[in-house]
Amino acid sequence: MNWYPIALPPQAGRRVLVTGANAGLGFFTAARLAGAGAHVVLSGRSPERLDAAVAAIRDVRPAASLETLVIDQSSLDSVAAGAERLLAGPRLDGVVANAGMVHTPMTRRESLDGHELVLATNVLGHFAMLGRLLPHLAPGARIVSLGSLSTRLSTFRVDDLRLERGYDPWRAYAQSKIATQVFGFELDRRLRAAALPVASVVAHPGYSISGRTPYVPGVNEPSRGGRFADALQAAFAQGKHRGAEVVLYALTAHDVEGGQYWGPRHLTRGEPVLQNPTRVSTDPDIAARFWTFAEEVTGRAFTVDG
């Protein structure tokens, strides 16, 4: 059954950062927020692709309030420079930690900082960024981390987060997403303990694929063959514009609370509903170990206090 996206609450006067906003879920999240009146900061690695995303949004919403910020989430120096620029501007009312690698390398690669590349891109960059930005979030702000269905299909080697004992592309992606969820839920526990008026929520977009997504010049341009192949999965897949609705709901809906996990009603597709994450994702002991690891490898303490 088809469903129509729920109208967003008015976002005028709100400033939101969406990482990885030049394509996919990030683009449609940014576009919908801008359409609801938010000032949206779109970040990504490529200035050309960011410009294409802005042009696509303004083609539909000429008055959209947008700015771009070039950040490579896998580089701690790039993340630090981007955070400094954000700290120099108005406070943020929301952060969508969306940037990440879906198509992971076939062999183990390392970031410029010497960390396993998928983990560095999908998790460590956001950990380092949010550690800097937390004091700059306005009261009532919400952080949404992007989880994944893959977290239900893999174990979590908390003692081998760098995948030095064995690498494969699937494990690299799934383990990075488990770590993302672990971080998102632990962040909310620490925010609550410190009585800070900021919430951390985790959302997963189900099975959202390009071939089920509207054509957007410079942003989403799947080939005819890609559209045909993805159409064969229509019974259990949805477009990325629909997957973004779960993220948007987690960010803006009035009935969302910190520490919650949102996803599509039918697991892989459908309207946003509250769901139960895996036990590993919410285990405080595992979270404490991950937090210590992340502080060590990023070289910066992430302190959450009032």
Model pLDDT for residues 95-111, shown as the tens digit of each residue:
999 999 989 999 999 99
Q: Would residue 261 show up in a list of annotated catalytic residues for this protein?
A: no
Residue 4 is predicted with a pLDDT of 66
Helix (H) or strand (E) holding 39: strand 39-44
Residues of the chain under the 70 pLDDT cut: 1-4, 228, 230
What single-letter DSSP state applies at residue 161?
Answer: T
Q: Measured between alpha carbons, how far is 120 from 127 in angstroms, rounded to an integer?
A: 10
188: exposed, middle or buried (Cβ count in 10 Å: 0-12, 13-18, 19+): buried
Which residues, 6 or more positions from 293, have their beta carbon under 8 angstroms from its beta carbon? Answer: 158, 161
> In sequence order, what are the beta bridge partners of 208?
238
33: exposed, middle or buried (Cβ count in 10 Å: 0-12, 13-18, 19+): buried
Which residues, 6 or more positions from 283, have their beta carbon under 8 angstroms from its beta carbon? Answer: 182
Q: Measured between alpha carbons, how far is 98 from 106 in angstroms, rounded to an integer?
A: 22
* Catalytic-role residue among 173, 207, 249, 261: 173
Q: Which domains does the chain have, with CATH numbers?
A: 15-298 (3.40.50.720)
Residue 1 is predicted with a pLDDT of 41
* Angle between helical axes of 47-60 and 24-35 (0-180°, round to 10): 40
274 φ/ψ angles, rounded to the nearest 5 degrees: -75, 135
Pairing state of beta strands 199-203 and 261-264? Answer: parallel
